[in-house]
Each structure stands twice: as structure tokens, then as C-alpha cells.
Amino acid sequence: MTAPSTFGLSTEARNLHWLLSNLVEEVPGVHSVTVVSSDGLMLLSSDPGHHEAKAAGPSDGPKGSSADLATIVSGIGSLTVGAAKLMDGGGVKQTMVAMDEGSVFVMSISDGSLLGVHATPDCDMSVVAYHMALFVGRAGHVLTPELRSELRKSMESAL
């Protein structure tokens, strides 16, 4: 994985980039990670350089652009919030989708943003969930409107 450029970013933004990169590099089975704002915009990505469609063939992430994971995470988040409302289930904390060839995890961050992880089908789900919870605990209190705006601009410039 190539580290995203954090030149010119605030300390808080650089720390979030570091936490995100660390999640991918340190947790076995994790392919890619994204943070999506409550309005569905990608704020952070473990692979911000791959925004264009990939050639057909083996891939370790969602087919297409790195924004695909953000789109999937946003959609899953919206669907589960709607389901929780219909069932009077309260807030959604985490969603996991297990597939034959991979897994997707979505975890709520305190401000309404979502953390999404794409992992291998044989990953240790409890380890992935634990590290996601650590990220959310560390990121949730610093993800202010100002920082979200800075991250959004940073992602737009990477496009």
C-alpha cells in the first residue's frame, strides 16, 4: 500500500491517516478501509490513489475505483439505519456482511460517519471488529466539522 500524501494537513488529519494506514497494515486479512461522512462522502481511504476503474482480473478490493468501498459502506449504513428504525432497534453499532470471497464491516462513528472495512473471507472477525472499535474510539472525538471539511477537500484534491 502506498501511503497517502499528508503534506499540508493538520496534525489531527495526519493522525487519522496514520490510524487508517495502521489498520490496513497491522490487521491480518484487511484489504482496504474507508471513512464515509454522514452524507455519504468519502473522507479517508486506505487507497486514495486508485480512483479510476481497475482492469479486469484478480483484485484485493471492490472492483472499480476506491470510491466503490465508500459507496458500499454508505449504502449498507443507510439500509441498516432504516431497518433499525422499522424495528425500533435503536442505533446501529456495527454491520457485517460475510460473502464467499470476502467480508465487509461497517461501524458507526459518533458523528454519524461510518468506518468501512473490506477483508478476506477467512479473516478473524473479532480481531477486525476490535481494531475497528479502537479506530472509532480514537477518531470519533476528533472528527469535528472542521476536520471533516479538511478531509473532504484532501480527498477531492487526490481525485
Domains in the chain with CATH codes? 33-48+65-149 (3.30.450.30)
Most confident of 48-62, 87-101, 142-156: 87-101
pTM for this prediction: 0.84
The residue behind cell 484487511 is 30
End-to-end CA distance of the chain: 17
Residues 103-150 have pLDDT tens digits of 999 999 977 899 999 999 999 999 999 999 999 998 888 888 888 889
User: Does the pLDDT value for residue 57 go beyond 50?
Assistant: no
Q: Provide mean pLDDT across the span 69-90.
A: 95
pLDDT value, residue 157: 76
User: Does the pLDDT value for residue 19 go beyond 50?
Assistant: yes
Residues 23-58 as b/e (b if ≥16 CB within 10 A, e otherwise) read bbeebebbbbbbbbbeeebbbbbbbbebbeeeeeee
Give the residue among 157, 152, 143, 138 at the shortest CA–CA distance from 22.
138
Residues 93-103 have pLDDT tens digits of 999 999 999 99
Residues 27-37 have pLDDT tens digits of 999 999 999 99
